[in-house]
Amino acid sequence: MSTSENAQLNEIYRQRKLFRNDRRRTMRFISAFAVMLVLLGAVIAVTGLLYIVKNSPDHDLIVLRDRKPPVVSVHDAVSANGKVYSIEEFADSISDISDVRMSYIKEPDFEADGIQDIVIRFTDEAGNYTDKNLKLEVYHDTSAPVIYVDDDIYVFWNDAISYKSFAEVEDDYDEDLDLEIDNSEVDVTKIGTYPVIYSATDSVGNTTSKTVNIHVMEPDSDEYYLMKANELCDIIISQITYDGMDDLHKVWAVYNYVREIPYVLTDYTRNYIREGYKMLSEYRGDCYGSYASVKLLLDRLGIMNIPIQTDEAYTRHFWNMVSLDGGNTWYHVDATNWTEWSQRPNMCMISDGRLDEISAQHGGTHYHIKSDYPATPYNSMPVPEDISAQYGVYDWS
For 272, residues 6+ apart whose C-beta sits below 8 A from its C-beta are: 288, 291, 292, 295, 296, 307
Give the DSSP per-residue string, 295-361. HHHHHHHT-EEEEEE--TTT---EEEEEESSSSSS-EEE-----TTSSS----EEE-HHHHHHHHHH
Provide φ and ψ at 207, rounded to 5°. -125, 145
Return per-residue pLDDT of the chain as tens, 397 residues. Answer: 567 766 676 666 677 666 676 666 766 767 766 667 777 777 777 676 666 656 655 554 444 688 999 999 999 999 988 889 999 999 999 999 999 999 999 999 998 989 999 999 999 999 999 999 999 999 888 899 999 999 999 888 888 899 999 999 999 888 889 999 999 999 999 999 999 999 999 988 999 999 999 999 887 788 888 988 999 999 999 999 999 999 999 999 999 999 999 999 877 677 999 999 999 999 999 999 999 999 999 999 999 999 999 876 666 899 999 999 999 999 999 999 988 787 889 999 999 999 999 999 988 899 999 999 999 999 999 998 888 777 766 554 3
Query: How many Å apart are CA 17 and CA 377, to the nearest integer?
Result: 152
CB 321 within 8 A of CB 380: no
For 200, residues 6+ apart whose C-beta sits below 8 A from its C-beta are: 145, 147, 169, 171, 177, 178, 179, 180, 207, 208, 209
- Which sequence spans correspond to the domains of the chain? 1-63, 71-139, 146-217, 222-391
Beta bridge partners of 72: 94
Query: How many Å apart are CA 291 and CA 48, to the nearest integer?
Result: 106
Cα atoms in the 13 Å half-sphere on the side-chain side of 298 = 29
Three-state SS sequence of 250-297: HHHHHHHHHHCCCECCCCCCCCHHHHHHHHHHHCCECHHHHHHHHHHH
- In CATH, the architecture of 71-139 is Sandwich (2.60)
Please report the pLDDT score of residue 61 as a whole number. Answer: 47
Give the single-character DSSP code of 88. G
For 374, residues 6+ apart whose C-beta sits below 8 A from its C-beta are: 306, 321, 323, 327, 330
Please report the pLDDT score of residue 394 as a whole number. Answer: 52
CB 195 within 8 A of CB 182: no
Q: Which of 164, 158, 204, 161 is nearest to 180 (CA)?
A: 164
- In CATH, the architecture of 146-217 is Sandwich (2.60)
For 306, residues 6+ apart whose C-beta sits below 8 A from its C-beta are: 320, 321, 330, 373, 374
Query: How many Å apart are CA 95 and CA 98, to the nearest integer?
Result: 9
Cα atoms in the 13 Å half-sphere on the side-chain side of 64 = 7
Query: How many Å apart are CA 122 and CA 72, to the nearest integer?
Result: 8
User: Which segments of the chain does DSSP mark as H helices, in order?
Assistant: 3-55, 222-240, 247-259, 272-282, 287-301, 352-361, 385-391
CA distances from 320 to 69, 145, 151, 345 (A): 84, 43, 30, 16
CA angle 142, 146, 149 (to 5 degrees): 165
Question: 222-391: what fold?
Answer: C8orf32 fold (3.10.620)
Query: How many Å apart are CA 136 and CA 79, to the nearest integer?
Result: 7
Q: Which of 223, 299, 308 is nearest to 254 (CA)?
A: 299
